[in-house]
Structure 1
Amino acid sequence: MTIQVDRKLMRSVFVDTVIESLATDPKLVLLTADISSWSFDEARVTYPDRVVNVGIREQAMIGMAGGLALNGFRPVAHTYTPFLVERPFEQIKLDLGHQDVGAVLVSIGGSYDDLPRGRTHQAPGDVALFDTLPGWTVHVPGHEDEAEKLIRDAIAGDGRVYVRLSDKANAEAAPVLDGFTVLRQGSAGVVVAVGPVCDDVLAATATADVTVLYASTIRPFDHAGLRAAVAGAQPNVVVVEPYLRGTSSYEVAEALGDVPHRLRSHGVRRDEEVRAYGRAADHDRLHGLDAASLAESIGEFLR
């Protein structure tokens, strides 16, 4: 008999983890911009100076985070991906990066989780934007247990950390490491799976003779881990990311700068904007991120 175990969404894990941390860390301050603010109503009563909802003022939220960090606090800022990264990008660049202070930015919505709300709630270019700024750690958990550990570690640290949460999750958690986890070994090539695309990658490569690497932390990029994997296989590299296609191509090129190699990137399409609504699974197919599309593409690439 199979026992069904209820699982929390990563968003719920974030809420629970922050509430628990507020009770033990007097320097922790949570900033929300309406999104999820209702989840912290009780915490706001208990910690009125450390749980602040700024309303739909995302630029101000990041500015406040910078000011709090300058005064010794550990700010956590949270909202949907485009409102957390794209709208206040100048403040992220200046108020956090240029001032060289730390903060934890936690997004929800992934690239296109909330499709009924349309393009305003989609931001597949978020990780590519962070690549233009130095000093950021980027986590893309693929399971709620990974999300909990990554968020706790980020809160306990003092650096600049972006945690990208999604409704999509893998069936099982992987070890939370700074670099790649080797899930499968083969000789025909190396496939890198980032966060919640892992189950689809494993299904797509079930009969392929490839090494599969997994990452829930994609920045810094594990150059040494990729080099080691390529050394034991043909230099055919496939990267599957749940955001803009080709985002990590530069990192692969840096890691294998002196190694002749072939690269194929999978992710959200750059060539055409998808204006359909539907479900996330429909968009996975449109972007070639479902298991069947990945199997066809990876198989053709290796042949």
Structure 2
Amino acid sequence: MDTMRERFAAIVSRLLDEDPRLAVVLAEIGKDGFADAARAHPDRVINVGIREQLLVGVGGGLALTGMRPILHTFASFLIERPFEQVKLDFGHQGMGGVLVSAAGSYDWPAGGYTHMAPGDVALLDTLDGWTVHVPGHPDEAETLLRDAAAAGDDSVYVRLSAHANSAPRDIAPGRFLTVREGRDGVVIAVGPMLDNVLAAVEGLDVTVLYATTVRPFDERTLRAATAAGAGAGTGAAGAGAAGTGAGTGAAADVVIVEPYLAGTSTGAVNDTLADRPHRVLGLGIPRRELRRYGTIDEHLAGQGLDPASLRERIAGFLRR
């Protein structure tokens, strides 16, 4: 299986052939994947070198001319380092573009904390109007990348990862996918956390929702799932049709497992269920820095995101 980054380079190279409005801006990282595209479209594949603020500034400038820029580098260099440029050159100027990151929270542990960005989605939450996709498989990355490239002038962040689920799911951009249904709570697995979550909840009577788009947050699907699980309203179908699902039944228990900063989306869950009793547990990367880097699997275990740790934390929360 190819990686999400390999699929990204292949798909966007083909999209450059098809859509003259697209342009790719790189900051050295990822340039090898676009070598052929750079020869075919030297005016629309731009490598600014190791200058991340310039990377975003050039993307914003291309957007001002009517282009649809696609910017790529590691998440820590795409969101955190040039955040002022993201805020001003895209947000303040009202421009749209596609930011595609790699490395994420823990993809290259040996690279150290300079190459980790567990706070990237939380940081983008301080800005208005960003769509955030978190695919869990290269096939899903392709679906979401194609959607982002064609998304008019919207601002879209696509968070790619070396950590992937074993198989793709039939996702729809912007919607949560119901993977299984249960009565004792709802667990939302974000992107590459799905396999670990499914292993963790085996034998538990819970609903599992799979989220590959986390912003905007799919309130409709979560409300339907919590209404069905708590026996409130008219069940999942009626709640989904009405778009409410509020009722006077038992409190809804929701766990959200994200591959970035723990609690990033707990506010979105609370806002979704503000009119009904509920509890929410946000699991993800803690603020405590893990300084022993090892492998991705060792990193997940150290952060409590392996199946055994997740089961203990999820089951303990539901028992309370």
TM-score (norm 2): 0.91
SS in 2 for 1:232: helix
Alignment partner, residue 252 of structure 1: 269
Residue in 2 aligned with 1:92?
86
* 1:106 matched to 2:122: no
Mapping 1:150-169, distance limit 5 Å:
150-158=144-152, 159-169=154-164
Structure 2 residue 244 is the aligned partner of structure 1 residue 238: no
The secondary structure found in structure 2 opposite 1:142 is coil
Match of 1:72 in 2: 66
Look up the match of 1:53: 47
C-alpha offsets along residues 76-121 of structure 1, whole Å, 9 cap, x if unaligned? 0000010000001000000001111110000001211011111110
Deviation at 1:267, TM superposition (A): 0.0
- The answer (yes or no) to whether the contact 2:10–2:33 under 8 Å persists in 1 is no
Aligned-partner residue type, residue 194 of structure 2: C
Who is 2:203 aligned against? 207
Please give the per-residue CA displacement for 1:9-35, whole angstroms capped at 9, x wherever unaligned: 000000001110111111111000000
* Equivalences for residues 104-143 of structure 1 within 5 A: 104-143=98-137
Q: Deviations over 1:152-210 (max 9, x none)?
A: 11111221000000011111111222211111100000000000000000010110000
Structure 1 residue 262 corresponds to structure 2 residue 292? no
- Name 1:194's counterpart in structure 2: 190
Gaps spanning 5+ residues in structure 1: where?
1-6
Q: Deviation of residue 224 (structure 1)?
A: 1.5
Tell me which stretches of 4 or more aligned residues in structure 1 moved more than 3 Å. Answer: none
Instruction: Say yes or no: does 1:171 pair with 2:166.
Output: yes
Query: Separation in 2 of the partners of 1:195 and 1:44?
Result: 30
Question: In the aligned structure 2, how far is the partner of 1:169 from the partner of 1:117?
Answer: 19
CA distance in 1, matches of 2:150, 2:41: 19
Name 1:275's counterpart in structure 2: 291
Query: Which amino acid is the alignment partner of residue 97 of structure 1?
Result: G
* Alpha-carbon shift at residue 294 of structure 1 (Å): 0.5
- Calculate percent identity across the aligned residue pairs: 55
Contact (CA 8 Å) 2:76, 2:104: kept in 1 or not? no
| Offset, 1:247 | 0.1
Question: Which AA in structure 1 matches 2:279?
Answer: R
> Which SS does the other structure have where 1:157 is aligned?
coil
Secondary structure of the residue aligned to 2:229 is coil
| Map of 2:140 onto structure 1 | 146
Q: Distance in 1 between matches of 2:142 and 2:18?
A: 16
Q: How many residues align?
A: 296
How far apart are the structure 2 equivalents of 1:109 and 1:251? 25
- 1:181: which partner in 2? 177
Give the distance between the partners of 2:10 and 2:36, measured in 1 at CA. Answer: 12
The answer to whether the Cα contact below 8 Å between 2:133 and 2:214 also exists between their aligned partners in 1 is yes
- TM-superposed CA distance for 1:276, in Å, is 1.0
What residue in structure 2 maps to residue 3 of structure 1?
Answer: none
What is the aligned partner in structure 1 of residue 249 from structure 2? none
Give the whole-Å Cα distance in 1 for the aligned partners of 2:272 and 2:282.
15
**Counterpart amino acid of 2:286?**
R
Q: List alignment gaps of at least 5 residues for structure 2.
A: 231-251
Please give the residue correspondences for 1:6-85 in structure 2 after superposition, counting only pairs within 5 Å.
7-85=1-79
Question: Match for 2:145: what amino acid?
Answer: I
Q: When the two structures are superposed, what TM-score results if normalisation uses the length of structure 1?
A: 0.96
Q: Distance in 1 between matches of 2:228 and 2:21?
A: 46
TM-superposed CA distance for 1:141, in Å, is 0.1
CA–CA distance in structure 2, aligned partners of residues 9 and 250 of structure 1: 31
Alignment partner for residue 308 of structure 2, among 289, 292, 298?
Answer: 292
The letter of the residue matching 1:160 is S
Cα RMSD for the two superposed structures: 0.8
Q: Which moved more, 1:31-40 or 1:172-181?
A: 172-181
Q: Secondary structure at the match of 1:233?
A: helix
CA distance in 1 between counterparts of 2:96 and 2:182 reads 40
